[in-house]
Amino acid sequence: MKKKWIVTLSLLLLTVTGAIAGPPASPPTGEIDSATRLEVIDTLIAKLNAHYVFPDKAQQAEVVLRQHQREGKYDGITDGKQLAKQLSDDIEGVVHDKHMAVYVSTRPVPPDDAMPPPPQTRAEWEKQVPPAALEKILASNLGVEKADHLSPNVGYLQISSFGPVFLISDKFAAVMNKLADTDGLIIDLRNNGGGGGDSVALLISYLVDEPTRLNDTWERTTGITTQYWTQDKLDGKRYGGKKPVLILAGPNTKSAAESFAYQMQALKRATVIGERTWGGANASRPYRLSEYFAAFIPSRRSISPITHTNWEGVGVIPDVATKPDDALAAAKDLMQRQLNGGAPPAATGH
């Protein structure tokens, strides 16, 4: 399922914390006029300058967008999806931020102060989700694709998304109970589109022995830094911090999945196997540009208390480089060598 259901929910509620897979349909009004183009561009520039996590990059983006305006680059664009793509491409050429994008909505976009805050409980979440989407999401595997034993002593956990913690906690408890008797664990994030930081912290909580500070996020709009720590009380069996953990990753390992791999690597708790990941670390949220346009602007930056930086633009660099298709075989071999007394490769802690 990857991140499809998270994307759908995010667009319906206009709340998003991670990467977006693709734009929704054009607005029902059809073609856009010059007044709409001007409103979208002017508001986009204002919102970038007010909220983008790097103010200097926002100013550079403004220079480029205004130059294109003067040159008439946008004058002939009458299709909403085309305008959104062009603006996204032009901004990307300056900021190179994976979580930045302009989108068209099929529904009127509410004002910024009218957008519902991200739900903190399942009850809040169910009130915000349309019934049809709610039924579909709850009937899914919530991103936990597979939990099995590759051999009697090696566990395998495949996750395609980190859903909201109030939904995924029971799933994590069940799979960790199932895998608790293994001597080593392979976690497959090769096709994980991301999700929520709280869910990342919850899963890491199962893989350590004591309270651990994992990651900080700094919010430009408020100037507030929030610390993410592991949880003390878990519903499932704690796997612990001593048994080997290998993480499979690659270009389709994105956003929160990168956060999981990066934090585990920085803690020297896991060995990452595969290829360099996607490279998106700045969390975004939506801002209204016009009746049917919104911009997803990163306003929060991840900061590791260990490396004092993050994976934005560079991705998580694997400890053991191999093609993603070969990563599982490489992990099986490495795991058996570790369990049989062979020394593991040194975790780089990028």
Q: Which residue has the tokens 């020394």?
A: 343
pLDDT at site 121: 81
pLDDT for 343 equals 56
Of all residues in the chain, what percent carry a pLDDT higher than 70? Answer: 89
How would residue 170 be classed by pLDDT, with cut points 50, 70 and 90? very high
Alpha-carbon span 67 to 257, nearest angstrom:
37
- Which conformational region is residue 14 in: left (phi greater than 0), alpha (psi within -120 to 50 degrees), or beta? left
Q: What is the pTM of this model?
A: 0.85
Query: For residue 25, what pLDDT band results from cuts at 50, 70 and 90?
Result: very low
Q: What is the pLDDT of residue 344?
A: 54
**Interacting residues of 34 by C-beta distance below 8 A, sequence separation 6+:** 75
The residue among 163 and 23 whose pLDDT is bigger is 163
Token pair, residue 61, equals 């983006």
Return the C-alpha torsion angle 185, 188, 189, 190, nearest 10. Answer: 150
Task: Judge whether residue 16 has pLDDT over 60.
Answer: no
3-class DSSP state for residue 162?
strand
> Would you mind telling me the total number of residues written for the chain in this entry?
350
Model confidence at 186, pLDDT cuts 50, 70, 90, reads: very high
Domain ranges of the chain: 4-110, 143-280+299-339
Say what the pLDDT of residue 322 is.
97
**In the chain, count of helices (H) and strands (E)?**
10, 11
Question: What pLDDT does residue 146 have?
Answer: 96
Of 22-26, 302-306, 327-331, the range with the lowest mean pLDDT is 22-26
Distance (Å, whole) CA 120 – CA 244: 33
pLDDT reading at 4 higher than 60: no
Residue range 189-214, pLDDT digits in tens: 999 999 989 999 999 999 999 999 99
Describe the crossing of helices 197-205 and 256-266 by its angle, rounded to 10 degrees: 40
Residue 32 is classified by DSSP as: -
> Looking at per-residue confidence, does 265 or 133 come out higher?
265
Residue type, 70: R
pLDDT band for position 1 (cuts 50, 70, 90)? very low
**8 pLDDT more than 60:** no
Token digits of residue 146:
């597979």
Is 299's pLDDT higher than 50?
yes
Cα of first residue to Cα of last residue in the chain, in angstroms, is 29
Percentage with pLDDT > 90 across the chain = 74
Helix axes 34-51, 80-95, angle to 10 degrees: 30
- CATH code linked to domain 143-280+299-339: 3.90.226.10
pLDDT of residue 349: 47
**Mean pLDDT over the full length of the chain:** 88
Evaluate if residue 287 carries a pLDDT over 50.
yes
CB 193 within 8 A of CB 168: no
Longest dimension (CA), the chain: 69
- Categorize the per-residue pLDDT at 113 as very low, low, confident or very high, splitting at 50, 70 and 90: confident
